[in-house]
Amino acid sequence: MGGRVMGLLNHLNTCLSLLAEDCGEGEYLHKGLCCVLCPAGTYVAQHCSTPHSKGRCISCTEGEDYTAHANGLEECLLCRQCKDDQITLRACTLTRDTECQCKQGYFCPAEGCEICQRCSKTCPEGKEIVQNCNATMDLGCGLPDQGLEHKYHLAWSVHKWLKYLNRPLGFVGLSLFPHPGQIRSVSYIHRS
**pTM, full prediction:** 0.58
| pLDDT tens per residue, range 27-70 | 999 999 999 999 999 999 999 999 999 999 999 999 999 999 99
Q: Where are the domains of the chain?
A: 2-58, 104-144, 146-189
Q: Phi then psi for 123, rounded to 5 degrees?
A: -95, 155
What gap in Å lies between CA 33 and CA 24, rounded to an integer?
11
| pLDDT tens per residue, range 96-146 | 999 999 999 999 887 777 889 999 999 999 899 899 999 989 999 988 765
